[in-house]
Amino acid sequence: MERKRGFEIVKGFENSNINLPVRKTKFSAGYDFEAAEDTVIPAFKPGTKPVLVKTGVKSYFADDEVLILANRSSNPMKKGLVLANSIGVIDSDYYGNPDNDGHIMFAFYNFGDQDIKISKGDAIGQGVFYKFLVSDDDAANGSRVGGFGSTSK
């Protein structure tokens, strides 16, 4: 079978009982991601940085595709959790990068009034694969040099 797109366990989590993301119904667009380990997301105070929740997963897909990460619809109302960047953008060249092997993480703020504990195995968000287009005058030719947040380095 030809590999087009999918998920793998990231280096360092091979023996951590990680569940790869799956769609729960045949018409679901998103693949549900789980937390790879227990994580506490403190209640927001000025100056608080977002907390990265590890999934233990990386993803491979075509060069003209992107994996968009989205919050669970219940997280804001039930837990006060919002994604720090509204959506996550996983580029195809993030896979296997030398910094973190392409480890997919969800960056959360907690706007509730109490710390929130995410337990290993809790559903935290979803990922949807999309094709994307480039402009006629696109001249991008850079190469990824690292992991999370490295595109502009």
Query: ∠ at Cα 139 (90, 97), nearest 5°?
Result: 30
Residues 6+ apart with CB under 8 A from 64: 131, 132
Which residues lie across from 109 on neighbouring strands? 82
Q: pTM for this one?
A: 0.90
148 pLDDT exceeds 70? no
- Span 6-126: which CATH code? 2.70.40.10
Cα gap 97→92, rounded to integer Å:
10
147 pLDDT exceeds 80? no
151 pLDDT exceeds 60? no
pLDDT tens sequence across 3-32: 999 999 999 999 999 999 999 999 999 999
Q: What is the average pLDDT value for the chain, to the nearest integer?
A: 93
Q: What is the pLDDT of residue 75?
A: 95
- Domain edges within the chain: 6-126
Q: What is the pLDDT of residue 149?
A: 60
Q: Are the C-beta atoms of residues 20 and 58 closer than 8 Å to each other?
A: no
146 pLDDT exceeds 70? no
Q: What is the mean pLDDT of residues 54-80?
A: 97
Cα gap 130→30, rounded to integer Å:
11
Q: Are the C-beta atoms of residues 82 and 109 closer than 8 Å to each other?
A: yes
